[in-house]
Amino acid sequence: MSDIVLETSGLSRHFGGVAALDNVDFSLRARELRCLIGPNGAGKSTFFNCLTGLLRPSDGHIFMRGEETTGWPVHRIASLGVGIKTQVPSVMDGLTVRENIWLSASRHHRQTDHAERRTDEIIARLSLGPISHNLLGRLAHGERQQVEFGLVMTGDPWLVLLDEPAAGMSPEDMVRISEILRELNDTAAMIIVEHDMQFIRSIASRITVFHQGRVLVEDDVERVMSNPTVRDVYLGRTA
Amino acid sequence: MDLIAVMAVEFLYAVASLVLISAGLAVVFGMMRVINLAHGEFMILGGYVTITAVNLGVNVFIAMVIIAPLAVALIGVVVERLVIRHLYGRLVDTMLATWGLSLFFIGLVTVIFGNTTTGISTPIPGFAIGDYRINGYSFFIILVAVLLLAAMAVILRTTRFGLIARGTMARPDIAAALGHETERIYMATFAVGSALSGLAGAVLAPLVGLVPGSGAAYIAKAFITVIAGGPQLLAGLMSSATFFGVVNQLFTFTISPVIGEVALLVAAVILLRMLPRGITGRFFRERSS
Amino acid sequence: MMAAAAVPIALLLPYVIDTYTLTVLAIYAMLALSLGLVWGYGGILCFGQAAFFGLGAYGYAVGAINIGESTIAMVVAVAASAAFAAILGAMMFYGRLGDVYLAIITLVVTLILYRFMSSTAGDAYVIGKARLGGFNGIPGFPTLHVPGDPSAYIWGDALYYLCAAILVLVLILVKLLLSSGFGRIAVGIRENETRMSLLGYDVRARKTLLFTIGAAVAALAGALFANWGEIVTPRLFGLTQSAEIIIWCIVGGFGTRLGPVLGAASMGYLKFLLGQQSLIDNTLVMGLILILVVLFLPRGLVPALAGLWDAAWQRVPARRVQRRRRDLV
């Protein structure tokens, strides 16, 4: 069991009287790729935000690589080596692609020349060279998403948390993103909150289904898809 | 016993004057999300209009309750058309531009009235309760504040404008989507807010000598009362005015009036620090970091 | 390069304008630079930079009276003001207050100081040997002298050259700070606070530190101002003073180093010229300028002129968007 990198026990979060997240036990192994699905309000985003530190859980515990991180501020969790991408592209719009990547590199490489070298590496790896001096604010949605993946990748994370990475992407963007995800997954465990079943199938993984703040099912993609309970609460009308 | 009666009046007066000072700002801020940093100057303009009218022989109550609000509402409309309407949705820019307006009006008043204290005498004589003298005018201030709150409640509950106003305050995004009418509603709102500021400045004018820089004393109080009040216009106004009024008076009685004012401001800073979300979470999205 | 150009300008200006006026312009420039750093590069909407300016001035006056010497008094002034800013900043940034609250709280703090200092007339308000003096302020404190030689006062032309030299020095330090990792990260935080904390940066600590540095520069300007005016009064904390600092920066252009400096010098000189006549009111003009700049020149003069220059020479558009302030709604 030593390869479990993330674990929660009894994790809960209440908003007023409503339990958005209710007593969730969850664990993730090293280099595992896990998708979280569920209808709106099922608690998957609340769960995600508790993991990233954007929300403070009302109850329960979170452990990352054996260390309890419950209630830590975002920056401390990120500093452990956790790469986080929120739903809306969150980048520095007034700065160039290069400056954006540099800001991520400099967090992990105190020496300036190391940070510069790491920046160049990432720009080359994502083929961002031609646009590296463009302002983020002027880039297309897909390009901004890519840069944000660059920010995540630069830190060499061992755990990556992604909130709807495929939202608003064109089919070509989607292909690129799944490539990047696979590459990241070589070294990092991953949690992806996602709606798009097609996309989930393309990155084939284990799925945790949330419903009413609890974990409903946890299984392989195909078995989840054919699970009648899951079809009832979530896929029933569409699949 | 006499002391308790006097203190009760003083407390009520402190709360009432905070309600008056803040009402105009609350309406404009609540409905338009415009923080009018020239609010204090709108108030002193109301005061100067009153003094001028009285000096011209107008009855002081007519000057305070009718002429001053109308005159300041007119100024408000001009300001809204010339400046504010270009800056809707740009909260910081409106703060800066209205700060500019504030300086502009201070300068204008200095040019017209000179940098000296102008004032009129209190139109209601004081009287004694036992050994203590009490300012009769305090009752007038309390009365005006009560009538104002009642009028606002009636307008919000029963009129079309009130309905739109409540809708706008509850869900500004949806109200904005209603479209064509927003321009006119914003203009009307700003006029109403200005009129309230003018009224407040007018009725408070007999109590304080006016100098061009007097507005600064009001703006901070109005600000914090409105912000601490939160999204419920009337309930927020009354609760925060009560809280700050009591704090102010407690320190005024026990130490000195200036310390009372300082205590009010310090209480506001602490309150904002402790309850940034609870009271005002709906006005500004909180930073999530 | 800018510093290199500043030296001959500083040396030539006394042939055009008297050094008494120039001294205060250099001090204003330093004060504007402090807000330019905090607001323009850090994205911290400080509406009360005057608080630190005033505290620097009072700190110097109180220090000089008690110590009877100026060098340590300068250090005391800057340190006291920076400590105050660190506490206030930590309270605001660790409380995760949004931009607008920050603006309001800094403004209210300035007003508190103004109210308090105005009410300190009387024997009860004494710090050591210094009477705070209420609305009339503190006059008659020892002014700057050569370190170690209390009889060699620095005043007149010498005070101007000292202030100009300190301004150039501060400009260089600010430039170094901004090109360092700390400065680049501060700009990143201005652009997207959440993203920067997701990258693992402690945004709260960094903003507190930047805020404190800005306050220290403002306090230095305040201490020099006390020496120039030879009296400190509560008006240093006034709303007008706070507004003027913002006007200088907005006219010059936030997000540049040169903008606030030039804005302060030009607006300060305009104020001086307006002060010599009584037809047009100074405050009225300042207010009008602020309104017009917000409406028609929201990025300020320096970025606008740089844009024109680029357009005239068909250069690539300015590489970096000079974002002056963020809008919340």
- Could you read off the pLDDT of A50-88 as tens digits, one per residue? 999 988 898 999 999 989 999 899 999 999 999 999 888
C192–A92 C-beta distance less than 8 A: yes
- Mutate: best of C199, C207, C254, partner A, most A CBs <10 A: C199
Residue of chain C with shortest Cα separation from A116: C181
Angstroms from A75 CA to nearest CA on chain B: 8
Q: State how beta strands C126-127 and B132-134 pair.
A: unpaired
A87 near B CB under 8 A = no
Q: How confident is the model at residue C269 (pLDDT cuts 50, 70, 90)?
A: very high
pLDDT(C191) > 90: yes
- Is residue B277 one of the residues assigned to a domain? no
pLDDT at residue B200, rounded to an integer: 95
Give the CA distances from residue C136 to residues B6, B7, C121, C131, in Å, rounded to whole numbers and listed in that order: 34, 33, 8, 11
| Chain A touched by B287 (CB under 8 Å) | no
Domain annotation covers residue C121: yes
**∠C6-C33-C43 over CA atoms, to 5°?**
140
Could you report the per-residue pLDDT of C10-24, keeping only the tens digit for each? 888 888 889 999 999
Q: Check residue B57 and give left, alpha or beta (phi > 0: left; psi -120 to 50: alpha).
A: left
Put simply, the answer to whether C243 touches B99 (Cβ < 8 Å) is yes
Give chain B positions within 8 Å (CB) of C282: 107
Q: Does A86 touch chain B (CB under 8 A)?
A: no
User: Is the pLDDT score of B88 beyond 80?
Assistant: yes
Report the C-alpha gap between C181 and C199 in whole angstroms. Answer: 15
Nearest CA in chain C to A153: C199
| Chains with at least 3 CB pairs less than 8 angstroms from chain C | A, B
Confidence grade of residue A238 (pLDDT, cut at 50, 70, 90): very low
CB pairs under 8 A between A and C: 75
* pLDDT at residue C318, as a whole number: 44
- Residues sharing a CB contact under 8 Å with residue B62, sequence separation 6 or more, in sequence order: B53
Chains with ≥3 CB–CB distances under 8 Å to A = B, C
**Boundaries of domain holding B114:** 2-215
Closest Cα in chain C to A132: C319
What pLDDT was estimated at residue B161? Answer: 78
Q: Chain A residue closest to B288 (CA)? A: A54
Q: How far is CA A130 from CA A173, A175, B113, in A?
A: 17, 20, 64
The number of domains in chain C is 1
Domain of residue C15 covers: 2-238
Q: What is the pLDDT confidence band of residue B283, given thresholds at 50, 70 and 90?
A: very low
Of C184, C191, C196, nearest to A94 by CB-CB distance is: C191
pLDDT, average across residues C265-277? 90
**Does residue B109 lie in a domain region?**
yes
Q: What is the pLDDT of residue B175?
A: 61
Query: What does the pLDDT read at residue B286?
Result: 35
Domain count, chain B: 1
Shortest distance, CA B218 to any CA of chain C (angstroms): 11
Question: Is residue C320 domain-resident?
Answer: no
Q: How confident is the model at residue B289 (pLDDT cuts 50, 70, 90)?
A: very low
Say if domain A1-81+156-239 classifies as CATH 3.40.50.300.
yes
What are A181's two structure tokens? 């995800």
Q: Which residue of A has its CA nearest to C186?
A: A103
Chain C residue with Cα closest to B108: C284
In chain B, which residues have their Cβ closer than 8 Å to the Cβ of A75?
A: 289
Q: Please list, residue by residue across A21-50, b when 16 or more beta carbons sit within 10 angstroms of its beta carbon and e when fewer do.
A: bbebebebeeebbbbbbbeeebbbbbbbbb
Q: B278 — contact with chain A (CB < 8 Å)?
A: no
Q: Report the DSSP beta bridge partners of residue A36.
A: A193, A208
Interior angle at CA C80, CA C224 and CA C84, nearest 5: 120
Residue by residue, what is the 3-state secondary structure of A129-190?
HHHCCCEHHHCCHHHHHHHHHHHHHHCCCCEEEEECCCCCCCHHHHHHHHHHHHHHHCCCEE
Amino acid sitting at position B37: L
Q: Which of residues 27-66 of A touch C (CB under 8 A)?
A: 52
Tell me if residue C92 falls in helix, strand or coil: helix
C9's CB contacts (< 8 A; 6+ apart) are none
Report how far residue A210's alpha carbon sits from residue A24's, in angstroms, rounded to the nearest whole number. Answer: 10
CB atoms within 10 A of CB B115: 12
| Closest C-alpha to A47, from A188, A192, A184, A153 | A192
Provide the shortest C-alpha distance from residue C179 to chain A (in Å): 12
Number of H helices, E strands in chain A: 9, 10
Q: How far apart are the first and last CA of chain B?
A: 54
Measured between beta carbons, the chain B residues lying within 8 angstroms of C43 are none
More confident residue, A198 or A122: A122
Residue B250 lies in a domain: no
The span from the CA of C199 to the CA of A129, in Å, is 22
- A214-220 sheet: strands from edge to edge: A82-85, A159-163, A189-193, A33-37, A206-211, A214-220
In whole angstroms, give the CA distance from residue A43 to residue C161. 65
Closest CA to A205 of A193, A217, A222, A188: A222
Tell me the nearest-neighbour CA distance from A73 into chain B, angstroms.
8
Measured between CA atoms, how close is A229 to chain C, in angstroms?
36
Q: What count of Cα atoms within 13 Å lies in the side-chain half-sphere of residue C119?
A: 14
Q: Find out whether C142 and C262 touch, Cβ atoms under 8 Å.
A: no
**Would you state the pLDDT for residue B163?**
81
- By the CB < 8 Å criterion, does C316 face chain A? no
What does the pLDDT average to over C174-196? 93
* Residue C59 included in any domain: yes
Whether A87 contacts chain C with CB within 8 A: no
Of the candidates C165, C163, C179, the one whose C-alpha atom is nearest the C-alpha of residue C257 is C179
The Cα of B277 is separated from the nearest Cα of chain A by a number of Å equal to 13
The CA distance from C117 to the nearest CA of chain B, in Å, is: 10
Instruction: List C-alpha distances in Å: A108 to A104, A149, C91.
Output: 7, 16, 28
Q: In B, which residues are within 8 Å of C239 by CB distance?
A: 102, 216, 219
B289 touching A (Cβ < 8 Å) = yes
d(C-alpha C69, C-alpha C63), whole Å = 8
> C283 vs B97: CB contact, 8 Å cut-off?
no
Whole-number Å distance between alpha carbons of A100 and A150 = 9
Q: Do C101 and B86 touch (CB under 8 A)?
A: no
Q: Which of B44, B99, B284 to mutate to test the interface with C (most CBs of C within 10 A)?
A: B99
Q: Which chain B residues are within 8 Å of A73, Cβ to Cβ?
A: 289
DSSP A208-227: EEEETTEEEEEEEHHHHHH-
Residue A73 to residue C197, Cβ atoms within 8 A: yes
- What digits encode the pLDDT tens for the residues A192-237? 998 777 888 888 788 898 888 888 888 888 888 888 887 777 654 4
The answer to whether position C295 is within a domain reads no
- The span from the CA of C235 to the CA of C117, in Å, is 9
**Domain contains C191:** yes
pLDDT at residue C218 greater than cutoff 60: yes
pLDDT interval class at A239 (50, 70, 90): very low
Using the Cβ of A89 and the Cβ atoms of chain C, whether some distance falls under 8 Å is answered with no
Kindly identify which residue of chain A lies nearest to residue B286, measuring between CA atoms.
Answer: A54
Q: How far apart are CA C234 and CA C171, in angstroms?
A: 28
Residue A34, H or E segment: strand A33-37
Chain C's closest residue to B217, CA to CA, is C111
CA of B12, closest CA in chain C: separation in Å? Answer: 24
Which pLDDT score, from 0 to 100, does residue C1 have?
Answer: 60
Show residues of chain A in contact with B278, CB under 8 Å.
none
In a domain, B274, yes or no: no
Q: Can you tell me the ipTM of this complex? A: 0.88
Most confident of A190-194, C80-84, C190-194: C80-84
State whether residue A225 sits within 8 Å of chain C by CB. Answer: no
Q: Does residue B98 form part of some domain?
A: yes
Asked if B209 and B121 count as a contact pair (C-beta separation under 8 A), the reply is: no
- Answer whether B106's CB lies under 8 Å from C287's CB: yes
CB B176 within 8 A of CB B186: no
Cα Rg, chain A, nearest whole Å: 18
Phi, psi of C140 (to 5 degrees): 65, 35
C-beta neighbour count of C292 within 10 angstroms: 14
Residue B110 and residue C284: Cβ atoms within 8 Å? yes
- The set of residues, in sequence order, having a beta carbon less than 8 Å from that of A125 and lying 6+ positions away, is A153
Structural domain boundaries in chain A = 1-81+156-239, 89-155
What pLDDT, on a 0 to 100 scale, did the predictor assign at position B236? 80
Please name the member of A90, A102, A133 whose beta carbon is closest to the beta carbon of C198.
A90
Q: How far apart are CA B189 and CA B165, in angstroms?
A: 9
Residue of B nearest to A16 (CA): B278
A112 vs C contacts (CB less than 8 Å): 181
- Residues in chain B closer than 8 A to C286 (CB atoms): 100, 103, 107
- Which residues in chain C have Cβ-Cβ distances shorter than 8 Å to A102? 184
Residue type, B256: S
Dist CA B108 CA B112 (whole Å): 6
